[in-house]
Amino acid sequence: MVKLARDKTQILLRGVEESFTHDLCPSCECFLAYLAQLRVDADPAENDLFIPFKVERTAMHKCLGCNPCPPADQYADYMLKKQKPMTP
């Protein structure tokens, strides 16, 4: 499996961070699930990109039910694109 390049990972992280609508977004399970998936898909050498998003377990919280939820929407979009087969 091809890992996400550093520049692509940075673009995705910046995009989701800029979409936050609440100060609680960085500790929400919607964002943290997306972050976890990006970390799995990124090259392990790029782990430093995820350090600014580290959250204490006690600060994490369940989805607040925001509608729309930009982090969840971006996560879903990312997963859909990831599932599509590459065309030559």
Residue 31 inside a domain? The answer is yes
Question: What total number of domains does the chain contain?
Answer: 1
Domain hosting 50: range is: 6-83
State the chain's mean pLDDT as an integer: 93
- pLDDT tens string 32-69: 999 999 999 999 999 999 999 999 999 999 999 999 99
Sequence-distant (≥ 6) Cβ neighbours of residue 72 within 8 angstroms: 30, 34, 63
Residue 29 inside a domain? The answer is yes
Residue 88 inside a domain? The answer is no
Residue 86 has pLDDT above 60, yes or no: no
Sequence-distant (≥ 6) Cβ neighbours of residue 29 within 8 angstroms: 60, 61, 62, 63
Residue 77 has pLDDT above 90, yes or no: yes
Residue 1 has pLDDT above 90, yes or no: no
Cα–Cα distance measured from residue 43 to residue 88, given in angstroms and rounded to the nearest whole number: 24
